[in-house]
Amino acid sequence: MKKLILITNDDGVSAQGINVLAELMTQLGEVIVVAPDSARSGAACAITSTQAITLRRRIDMEYNRLQVFECSGSPVDCVKLALEQVCPRQPDLLVSGINHGDNASCSIHYSGTMGAVIEGCMKGIPSIGYSLRTLKHRCDFTPYADEILRIASFVLEKGLQQDVCLNVNFPEVEKLAGMRVSRMGRGRWVQEWISANNPRGMNAFWLTGRFLNLEPHNEDTDYWALDHGYGAITPIKLDMTAYEVIHSLFPLTSHS
């Protein structure tokens, strides 16, 4: 049976990145796209609990054996809906992206691209997120096509360990320096707000910000790789327990 590949993103079904990704994935199997109807940048693992979600087939976007659906929910909603309401069987692979903007370091926590990947992983599907460090809506994705396919093929063939998914980030370059397996670098966003002009005199602000790399010299981080022209492959796990500090919290245990 042909491999079944589920594709989603957080930039919306019309974004260039997801359309490039879908075209690449048709080389590896049967492809179903279920993506948000418009941009959901920064949606993280958000789910929609306060309204009903609509699902609509986009026959106008389909070709070969590609099926395309758009959904009014978040990237995680897209994955949940795809698995229960669209896919004829459990997908062999979930890929999310290609995001316009990197999701390295702490940005993974905010990322809708990676939210969908974490959801796929939670459901037992080998899952990969692809992101490109760019500010553009139209990009040249050709420098990354071979690596995208190579990583997806590797995962289709060998699978991933239980509860582990991949976060793959590319720098915007004409030719990659190579690919590195990395860890999440430490960092945070700073100077995050600018005042919004507002005719009613309310306090209003736009979210913006500057990324502060807290370990710019550590070569094993995803951020270092991107800064130096490499693609970064970072394995991410669902279990966020800080095992190493459990003992220090024992004074808080009690029995009635």
Q: Is 142 near a second copy (CB under 8 A)?
A: no
* Local structure of 88: helix, strand or coil: coil
Q: Which of 28, 149, 160, 172 binds a second copy (CB under 8 A)?
A: 160
Q: Which of 28, 61, 87, 122 binds a second copy (CB under 8 A)?
A: 122
Q: Is 109 near a second copy (CB under 8 A)?
A: yes
Site for a second copy in 207-246 (CB under 8 A): 207, 233-246
Cis peptide before 125 (omega within 30 of 0): no
How far is Cα 30 from Cα 22, in angstroms, rounded to an integer?
10
Q: Is 64 near a second copy (CB under 8 A)?
A: no
Buried b (16+ CB within 10 A) or exposed e, 118-148: bbbbbbebbbbbbbbbbeeeebebebbeebb
Stretch that binds a second copy, among 13-21, 58-66, 126-134, 174-182 (CB under 8 A): 174-182
Q: Shortest Cβ distance from residue 30 to a second copy (Å)?
A: 21
How far is Cα 66 from Cα 138, in angstroms, rounded to an integer?
22
**205 versus 216: smaller Cβ distance to a second copy:** 205
**206 versus 216: smaller Cβ distance to a second copy:** 206
Site for a second copy in 1-40 (CB under 8 A): 39
How far is Cα 196 from Cα 229, in angstroms, rounded to an integer?
36
Q: What is the DSSP letter of 221?
A: B
Applying CB under 8 A, what is the total number of residues that bind a second copy? 89
Q: Shortest Cβ distance from residue 145 to a second copy (Å)?
A: 14
| Angle made by CA atoms 110, 114, 115, in degrees to the nearest 5 | 75
**25 versus 155: smaller Cβ distance to a second copy:** 155
x/- binding map, residues 37-56, to a second copy, per CB under 8 A? --x-xxxxxxxxxx-xxxxx
CA 191 to chain centre: 24
* Local structure of 197: helix, strand or coil: coil
Q: Shortest Cβ distance from residue 211 to a second copy (Å)?
A: 12
Tokens of 54: 């609509």
Q: Which of 17, 115, 120, 171 binds a second copy (CB under 8 A)?
A: 115
Q: Shortest Cβ distance from residue 14 to a second copy (Å)?
A: 15
